[in-house]
A and B are shown apart, each in its own frame.
Chain A
Amino acid sequence: MKVSLFLTCLADAAYPADVGRSTVEVLERLGCEIDFPKNQTCCGQPAYNSGFHRETRDVAKHMIRTFEHADYIVSPSGSCVAMLKEYPHLFEDDPEWIGRAKKLADKSYELTQFIVNVLEVEDVGAEFEGKVTYHTSCHMTRLLGEREAPMKLLKNVKGLNFTELPNKQQCCGFGGTFSVKMLPISEQMVDEKVQHIEETNADILIGADLGCLMNIGGRIDRQGKSVKVMHIAEILNSQK
């Protein structure tokens, strides 16, 4: 099965290779052939959520062209995939682009969603020793509607000592530009999230969205706390 990887701009620019590399290796281990369209950029969410929809359309058109050849688009981010699925709304009045946008939306999957629902695999054979908790991510659960897949996969990772995060449904306060535009509110939200993470006594916070992890991890680091954040792809790619 040929899978086109949409890395996301955060994994592309702000983080080292780990998340993308883990995504590629897990999918290859499950028998997928990976294609990485080099012209890919960003899903357009920063402009979209800020109200700049004309600008978002330019970005969306570029992404539609870049991934038009793909059979499946898989991305290690629920939020960015939810944005790809917004594209048809952006082209409601554009008969030329709406069909192309719908096709892109229909073949886009978040990584864990793809593994569980398309590949129909719940045990990727991973092994990882550690006391962990998991942040569910709002866009993954509520916009994409994917609540089960990450938990199904984590349940089968050997060695995980898992504690559920209290108030897990609550936003971490990232929200893209919200994190800087509404800094004082975002700060209170991330502080409450960090407090709940500490209540679990976990050493590692797992998440499936780098936006949330950058926010929570950045706050944890600033407070000099020792909890580490890791992307779920890295956990799923861990082997003994």
Chain B
Amino acid sequence: MGVKISNEKFFDRVDKGIKDTFMRKAVSEAQSRLEGRKIEVTEELGNWEDWRDLSEEIRQHTLENLDYYLEQFARNVAKQGGHVFFAGNAEEANDYITSVVKKKNAKNIVKSKSMVTEEIGMNEALEEIGCNVVESDLGEWILQLDDHDPPSHIVVPALHKNKEQIRETFNKKRQYDKTSDPDELAKFARQELRKDFLAAEVGITGCNFAVAESGSVSLVTNEGNARLATTLPETQITVMGMERIVPTWKELDILVTMLCRSAVGQKLTSYITGLTATKEQGDVDGPEEFHVVIVDNGRSKILGTKFQSALQCIRCAACINVCPVYRHVGGHSYGSIYPGPIGAVLTPLLEGYEDYKELPFASSLCAACTDACPVKIPLHEQLVEHRRIIVEQEGKSSFGEKLAMKGYAFGASTPSLYQMGIKGAPTFINTIAGKDGDGKGAGPIKLWTDIRNLPKSTGQSFRKWYNNREKGGND
């Protein structure tokens, strides 16, 4: 799939999102539910801010020593018979993965949920060499069946779909003839997926956290699908973003609970899987061959910049779950597999500004995201930094805006000019606003008055009142 999920223009996508009343209802309900549950399980800890500080420290330390921990991790995987491949970009990652699959003569692949495999377009690369790739996360499976509808949320990918739509997809694609009762739908999915699990020669997973000290991979799910995908197939391939690593199991312990609490409001999810190396003598299951693909794909160039902390992200979506913009436009409006505040920060870093220059501006900078982030990424500040780069380095602001901002800055640093401006402002506003306050004006004022009235600027100005008073005049 790749990062980009749409060729439509930003405002067309937004317009579509706003008009999708079902999606918006689903999103606002999910936000309230997830946020409510999160508040419950974080308040229960009693000192959530201390946990955030600690988590931030762990992530910062790991990123500052990323080379060390990656090397330690790779050494430990290799020591236990696993294979590690460092992929500089999507193409290198896909080349390696397809070569492993070809060597195994594998045709059937079962996958657990992984954003990085979406990012590099791995499914398409495998399908091109004739493989049948099946998503086993329920949400991802629904989207895959529905002609590869893109995910709209990084934790709940099919958030934008309701049970009726899911029933229809199952019916059209798999001749499902029962009701839209969620239990019945899930039972059907389980039956269908079981065949794919049993047939798979290769299981591919993402990676929530790699553990450097033991060369292990940990996976967090509620469905147990990652466990099964790493138990039945002979070969396991784990694909991870290069920043998804912790030094030891001690740090894993902390970050896993931060992830579960922040993502879905659970202390722990139903399955937390820790996998180390291959099947040993006497083991009844587990893979015989284990590969880890560590993907850079633009991440290393973020290190050492003002955006480094964006790599602290543990993909919990807490920022998405509180974002008022996401609430109204939905995930697809972002045009990226990474939506919401973290998506608006990360997408331009990975893919450049050309296709995503609106994203950093699609925020009121309300900072709800920054407050929600369990690893304390200053998301709203990073959006402002993107804006600065877009204006000052990329030169992507319009001529009109440049002129307006120059004029503004000159006016706001020249008191005589400013005072002239504010003296004229009430007359100006009243003229535009008209008798009822709903006049139109031009430029930004026209946009403002498209949906709102201007303030009623009647009566004495503050400066006049203050001057009179200083002169000893009456109020």
Residues of A within 8 A of B (CB): 7, 9, 11-21, 24, 36, 38-42, 44, 46-56, 58-59, 61-62, 66, 138-139, 142-143, 169-171, 173-190, 192, 214-215, 217-219, 221-222
Contacts and interface: CB of A to CB of B under 8 A. Distances in A.
A182 B415 contact: no
B367 A190 contact: no
Contact of B413 (A16, A52, A59, A170): A59
Contacts of B447: 180, 183
A185 B362 contact: yes
B363 interface: yes
B444 A62 contact: no
Interface size class of B (residues with CB under 8 A): 35 or more
A190 B452 contact: yes
Nearest to A11: B462
Interface string B205-218: 00000000000000
Interface of B is mostly: helix
A60 to B, nearest CB: 9
Contact of A41 (B415, B460, B475): B415
A54 B405 CA distance: 10
Contact of B406 (A14, A55, A174): A55
Contact of B366 (A7, A175, A183): A175
Interface string B43-54: 000000000000
Interface string B183-225: 0000000000000000000000000000000000000000000
B242 to A, nearest CB: 29
B368 A24 contact: no
A55 B455 contact: no
Interface in B386-405: 386-392, 397, 401, 405
Contact of B364 (A14, A51, A53, A138): A138
Contacts of A13: 421-422, 425-426
A184 B429 contact: no
Contacts of A46: 405, 408
Contacts of A187: 451
A185 B387 contact: no
Interface string B337-375: 000000000000000000000000111111110110000
B379 to A, nearest CB: 11
A219 B452 contact: yes
Contacts of A180: 444, 447-448
A215 B460 contact: no
Interface of B: 11, 14-15, 18, 324-325, 328-329, 361-368, 370-371, 384, 386-392, 397, 401, 405-406, 408-415, 418-419, 421-422, 425-426, 429, 437-438, 444, 447-448, 450-455, 457-466, 475
A55 B364 CA distance: 21
A58 B364 contact: no
B413 A62 contact: yes
A184 B14 contact: yes
A14 B460 contact: no
A61 B422 contact: no
Given A62-B412, A173-B364, A185-B362, A49 B384 contact: yes
Contact of A171 (B366, B386, B389, B411): B366
Contacts of B459: 16-18
Contacts of A218: 437, 448, 452-455
A41 B364 contact: no
Nearest to B394: A51
B462 A12 contact: yes
Contacts of B415: 38-41, 62, 66
Contacts of A58: 409-410, 412-413
B455 A15 contact: yes
Contacts of A143: 367
Contact of B464 (A17, A55, A183, A214): A17
B422 A221 contact: no
Nearest to B385: A51
Given A170-B324, A180-B448, A20 B367 contact: no
A51 B365 CA distance: 13
B372 to A, nearest CB: 10
B455 A20 contact: no
B324 A171 contact: yes
B14 A50 contact: no
Choose among A11, A19, A41, A178 the residue with the greatest number of B CB atoms under 10 Å from its CB. A41
Given A39-B415, A41-B411, A185 B451 contact: no
Contacts of A38: 415, 419, 463
A214 B455 contact: yes
A56 B368 contact: no
Given A138-B366, A174-B364, A219-B451, A16 B384 contact: no
Contact of B409 (A59, A188, A192): A59
A186 B11 CA distance: 13
A51 B408 contact: no
A22 to B, nearest CB: 10
A47 B408 contact: yes
